[in-house]
Amino acid sequence: MEEQQLTRINKYLSEVGFCSRRAADKLMAEGRVTINGVVPEMGTKISKNDVVAVDGKPVVEPQEKPVYIAFNKPVGIVCTTDTGVEKDNIIDFIGYPTRIFPIGRLDKPSEGLIFLTNDGDIVNKILRARNNHEKEYLVRVHKPITKDFIESMSNGVPILDTVTR
């Protein structure tokens, strides 16, 4: 008998491109997600035979091919998929005909390379810190860069609940 592969519900919703894992956790906390008609506990795992719904509507896996876009984001564009909030958002600016989302983000006053995709699985592989992907930035600062500053930055910077590398 073949062992059935189980996937955490937040990972599933991310992989099918419905929303991010964090957004999925929020939906679950609000009781808006069901598995086979039942509101699950956080961390619940599903099989391919389970029916996942959000707000009563079944979530279906996309049958489309993966999309990968390399985009040189100009200054003034916001890396958000929330098209109702930001008028200068990256999604409207690109105008791709199907749902895509940025892998990571660049600040509004920044410009540079950013990738967009409809493949939620690759987003997690790229952004997860434990995968040790090197990132390089060219920045201008308006204060002197001292030896102490470089050493402090090299030891990591606390941001939200994480210390950067």
3-class SS of residue 58? strand
Find how far residue 5's CA is from the centre of its chain: 23
Contacts (Cβ under 8 Å, ≥6 apart) of 38: none
Catalytic one of 107, 119, 121, 161: 107
DSSP string across 108-151: TT--EEEEEES-HHHHHHHH-GGG----------SS---HHHHH
User: Distance between CA 121 and CA 6 in Å, rounded?
Assistant: 15
Catalytic residue flag (residue 107): yes
Write out the catalytic residue numbers.
Answer: 107
